């Protein structure tokens, strides 16, 4: 198994977090842990993102620290310098794959086709995000990928939530599912951390 798989194999749910502020992101990280979730994908979608990632790292909160929405190779060195556990991109480019290889950042690149998958495999990767999963009929696509790409594992993301997460997780080539449903914007901005923790608990319960 790859180092990334070893890192994430017990994760099952990957919360996709928008870092509205450093404080809010720290609150989210604590709430996720309280709710039984052991990983966080902090997306590079706000100006606070890199500071939020640094602060979660420095906080000592016991959570696997991932970066998300990596849309170019531009931030890979900064991420490597912080020392995150993994980095997720919505798509895949050669520049990004090279940057991952050169810096040692463990990439989980997004794919939506066999060709994109094969590009990532050329760089030795065996785990991928499937994005945007529900829009591209990801459930059927993952079943089809199980034939030619039987050794590859996926984290479908995009349009996943309580109604369909179990269906995806039950596929043999899915090792976790990602999404933003665990961190609703309203709850985060109101600091309703127990609400976030409870959504996590309820989501994990759906998998048992």
Active-site residue list: 41, 129
How far is residue 23's CA from residue 52's CA, in Å, rounded to a whole number? 8
Phi, psi of 13 (to 5 degrees): -120, 130
Q: In angstroms, what is the minimal distance from the CB of 30 to ligand 3PG?
A: 21
Binding ligand 3PG (rule: CB under 6 A), the pick from 106, 157, 164, 197 is 157
The smaller minimum CB distance to ligand 3PG, of residues 59 and 91, is found at 91
Told to check if 46 binds ligand 3PG by CB under 6 A, we report no
Per-residue DSSP letter, 47: T
Told to check if 156 binds ligand 3PG by CB under 6 A, we report no
Told to check if 16 binds ligand 3PG by CB under 6 A, we report yes
The smaller minimum CB distance to ligand 3PG, of residues 73 and 88, is found at 88
Q: In angstroms, what is the minimal distance from the CB of 161 to ligand 3PG?
A: 7
CB 173 within 8 A of CB 194: no
Element (H, E) at 43: strand 39-43
Q: Which tokens belong to 111? A: 């794919």
Q: In angstroms, what is the minimal distance from the CB of 16 to ligand 3PG?
A: 4
- C-alpha distances in Å from residue 61, one per residue of 135, 136, 177, 186, 197: 34, 35, 22, 23, 15
The smaller minimum CB distance to ligand 3PG, of residues 97 and 182, is found at 182
Q: Which residue is nearest to ligand 3PG (CB)?
A: 179
Told to check if 158 binds ligand 3PG by CB under 6 A, we report yes
Told to check if 159 binds ligand 3PG by CB under 6 A, we report yes
Q: Which tokens belong to 86? A: 């993994």
Q: Of 3-11, 48-56, 178-186, 195-203, which segment contacts ligand 3PG by CB under 6 A?
A: 178-186
Binding ligand 3PG (rule: CB under 6 A), the pick from 93, 103, 173, 180 is 180
Buried b (16+ CB within 10 A) or exposed e, 49-70: bbebbbbbbeeebebbbbbbbb
- C-alpha distances in Å from residue 1, one per residue of 6, 66, 82, 110: 7, 19, 25, 19
Told to check if 146 binds ligand 3PG by CB under 6 A, we report no
**Would you call the peptide bond into 33 cis, given omega within 30 degrees of 0 as the criterion?**
no
Per-residue DSSP letter, 183: S
The smaller minimum CB distance to ligand 3PG, of residues 102 and 195, is found at 195
Give the binding site for ligand 3PG (CB under 6 A). Answer: 16, 131, 157-160, 178-181
């Amino acid at each position: 198994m790859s180092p990334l798989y070893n890192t994430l194999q017990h994760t099952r749910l990957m919360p996709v977090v928008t870092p509205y502020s450093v404080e809010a992101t720290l609150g989210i990280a604590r709430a996720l842990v309280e709710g039984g979730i052991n990983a966080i994908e902090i997306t590079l979608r706000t100006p606070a993102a890199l500071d939020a990632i640094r602060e979660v790292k420095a906080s000592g909160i016991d959570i696997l620290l991932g970066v998300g929405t990596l849309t170019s190779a531009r931030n890979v060195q900064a991420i490597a310098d912080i020392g995150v556990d993994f980095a997720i991109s919505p798509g895949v480019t050669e520049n990004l794959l090279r940057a991952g290889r050169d810096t040692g950042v463990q990439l989980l690149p997004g794919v939506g086709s066999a060709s994109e998958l094969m590009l990532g495999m050329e760089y030795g990767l065996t785990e991928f995000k499937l994005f945007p999963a529900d829009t591209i009929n990801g459930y059927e696509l993952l079943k089809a990928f199980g034939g030619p790409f039987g050794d590859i594992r996926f984290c479908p993301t995009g349009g996943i939530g309580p109604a369909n997460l179990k269906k995806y997780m039950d596929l043999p080539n899915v090792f976790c599912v990602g999404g933003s449903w665990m961190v609703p914007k309203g709850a985060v901005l109101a600091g309703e951390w127990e609400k976030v923790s409870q959504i996590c608990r309820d989501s994990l319960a759906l998998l048992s």
